């Protein structure tokens, strides 16, 4: 008995932020000597700031072993992704208001929402409260407590923030993005979804300070979504990572690599339905110091294509650099799955 890929895909709780900004259409500004006869003339040649493309292009400089190490490093870090300290610190310096209350004239202004097994609250302010806590920006926190829909049952929390909260003792949380930790499941699966995107920084005497809280010290720049699920009938595990990771400092990436981006990168056990356990699925892209990208297309399982042709079950993905094929990049998905134990 193997899981159906469409059922697996539904377990990924999609939490999206859409920031829409707009402005009124306006007529182009005019000015200057409009009486001149040539005022409405337009040049027939490109403006001086448009230059022809360079005649020479840099060739590949990163060996396949470096690409492989970069992908494995980022996937291992994704497995360890921990957003709980962010959520806990937000609750520590701004205790959640009582659901059912709201005050649009307070500091901060806040509203609460009660959906039964799902609650939420929203805050906004540029102010300092009576207890000395200062607020700048806004935040939205959603809490799921055995929230059930047609896809399963969900428990966890999501913090969406664009601003900063500072406690009287100097402890602060500054964020611009989304941090989410959701456990879910149904009769067939148990799953865990972690999402961390944007920039997050904490400091002060009560801020997390252990090495495990590196996601809050500003050294990592994540845009990651990590889904881990287990097929209950067999215990087979699956890991899917999407998004990217770069580093402002203390980069663990191999020399010459500046960032890694993953698109539905999947490691799946045979007990979870994979026909080739060693072959990852999805795409990995690796950026070098020159700013060029290496794209690796793996042949392993994804939710859209769960089966791997036998002749492609080698753990290696076709690799491209500036539209030219280079040596294949090999990543053993079995090693990545061991990190889930």
Question: What is the DSSP-derived secondary structure letter of residue 131?
Answer: T
Question: What is the DSSP-derived secondary structure letter of residue 101?
Answer: B
**Region of residue 272 (phi > 0: left; psi between -120 and 50: alpha; otherwise: beta):** alpha
Question: What is the DSSP-derived secondary structure letter of residue 99?
Answer: B
Pick the closest to residue 284 from 247, 249, 315 (CA basis).
315
CB-based contact 172:216 (threshold 8 Å): no
* The pLDDT value given to residue 14: 38
CB-based contact 282:238 (threshold 8 Å): no
Task: Say what the alpha-carbon torsion angle 183, 19, 197, 126 is, to the nearest 10 degrees.
Answer: -100
Q: How far is CA 170 from CA 125, 137, 312, in A?
A: 18, 17, 56
* The pLDDT value given to residue 208: 87
Q: How far is CA 307 from CA 86, 282, 296, in A?
A: 38, 12, 18
* The pLDDT value given to residue 36: 41
The token pair that represents 114 in the structure block: 């009660």
**Burial profile 205-215: b = 16 or more Cβ within 10 angstroms, e = fewer:** eebbeeeebbb
The domain spans of the chain are 62-338
Whole-angstrom Cα distance, residue 297 to residue 310?
16
Blockwise average pLDDT, block size 10, the chain, 341 residues: 48 36 38 44 52 60 97 96 94 96 96 96 98 98 93 94 98 96 94 95 90 83 96 96 94 97 97 96 97 97 91 96 95 92 68
**pTM over 0.85, yes/no:** no
Max Cα-Cα span within the chain: 82
């Amino acid at each position: 008995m193997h899981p159906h890929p469409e059922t697996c895909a539904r377990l990924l709780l999609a939490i999206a932020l859409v920031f829409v900004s707009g402005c009124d259409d306006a007529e182009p500004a005019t000015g200057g000597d409009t009486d001149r006869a040539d005022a409405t003339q337009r040049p027939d040649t490109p403006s001086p700031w448009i230059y022809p493309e360079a005649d020479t292009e840099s060739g590949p400089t990163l060996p396949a072993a470096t690409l492989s190490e970069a992908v494995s490093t980022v996937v291992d870090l994704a497995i360890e992704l921990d957003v709980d300290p962010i959520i806990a610190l937000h609750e520590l310096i701004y205790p959640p208001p009582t659901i059912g209350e709201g005050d649009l004239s307070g500091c901060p202004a806040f509203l609460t929402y009660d959906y039964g097994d799902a609650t939420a609250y929203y805050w906004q302010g540029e102010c300092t409260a009576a207890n000395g806590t200062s607020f700048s920006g806004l935040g939205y926190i959603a809490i799921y407590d055995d929230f059930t829909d047609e896809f399963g049952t969900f428990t966890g929390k999501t913090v969406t923030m664009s601003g900063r909260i500072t406690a009287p003792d100097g402890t602060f949380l500054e964020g611009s993005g989304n941090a989410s930790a959701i456990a879910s499941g149904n009769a067939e699966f148990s799953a865990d979804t972690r999402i961390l995107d944007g920039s997050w920084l904490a400091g002060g005497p009560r801020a997390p300070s252990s090495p495990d809280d590196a996601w809050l010290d500003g050294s990592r720049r994540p845009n990651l979504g990590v889904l881990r699920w287990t097929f209950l009938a067999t215990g087979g595990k699956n890991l899917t990572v999407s998004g990217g990771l770069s580093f402002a400092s203390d980069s663990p990436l191999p020399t010459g690599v500046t960032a890694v981006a993953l698109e539905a990168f999947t490691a799946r056990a045979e007990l979870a339905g994979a026909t080739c356990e060693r072959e990852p699925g999805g795409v990995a892209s690796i950026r070098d110091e020159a700013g060029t990208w290496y794209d690796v297309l793996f042949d392993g399982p994804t939710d859209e294509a769960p089966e791997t042709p036998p002749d492609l079950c080698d753990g290696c993905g076709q690799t491209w650099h500036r539209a030219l094929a280079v040596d294949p990049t090999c990543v053993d998905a079995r090693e990545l799955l061991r990190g889930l134990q």
